[in-house]
Amino acid sequence: MTSALLIRNARIVDGTGGPSQQGDVAVRDGRIAALGRDLPAQGAVIGDVNNRHLGVLDLHGQPKPAADALRFFRRAFRLPCRCADERIDELAGNGSVQAHAFEFVDGSAVLCAWLPTHAGPLPAPAAVPILVPPPATQTVQFRLTGLRLHEAELCNELGEAITDSDLQRAPRSLRCHADSTGTTLSPLTLQAGEIAVVLLR
């Protein structure tokens, strides 16, 4: 008997020509064992409640937030670029933040950073990541070696200004200081569930 697999918030099509539904699919021994909502997990889980926001269009053809993210990244990455992860130095933080940098032909750069939401792959033979709650916040500071940039704009993956809280609604400021060896960013506090995108010029 193989272990159970639960796919959360899947698009379920029953083959009758009726409308598709969104729900959970439990699989055991390679066969569908149950369909429904909020089914209990008895093994590996793929997806979570956030799957309701994945994809570009909903079932009615209306744009989802992912469409805004694609438009924003298309504008942000309009110039030829290269991955510049080797330029990232984490000056402050505990190493739990993921970050990737991209350097453009005009000398500008983009840094994307987020708190990971998984602990890594399961031991073999399963390769499904274990979802764990991320820390609520993490403060980190980055330095980009070899890049001299003087202006930083902080936004989320949709291109919106990141705010400190729902009460203040004031954009978080991020400063950068360039010297002969690179650019140091001011400390950045990431919130669980957000992606910080730093546009550097």
Ordered structural domains, the chain, with CATH = 5-54 (no CATH), 79-200 (2.60.40)
Pull the structure tokens for residue 111: 């840094």
Distances in whole angstroms, Cα of residue 177 to Cα of each of 36, 64, 75, 110, 201: 53, 37, 25, 16, 12
Pull the structure tokens for residue 191: 């919130």
Q: pLDDT tens digits for the chain (201 residues)?
A: 345 777 777 777 777 878 877 788 888 877 788 888 878 777 666 665 545 544 556 656 666 666 777 788 888 888 898 999 999 988 877 777 888 999 999 999 999 988 776 544 444 444 445 444 556 778 888 999 998 888 888 888 878 876 554 334 445 667 888 889 999 988 888 877 778 888 988
Pair 137, 190: CB distance under 8 Å: yes
Q: Which residues contact 93 (CB under 8 A, 6 or more apart)?
A: 138, 139, 140, 141
Whole-structure pTM value: 0.61
* Maximal C-alpha separation, the chain: 66
What DSSP character marks residue 166? T
On the CB side of 26, CA atoms within 13 Å amount to 14
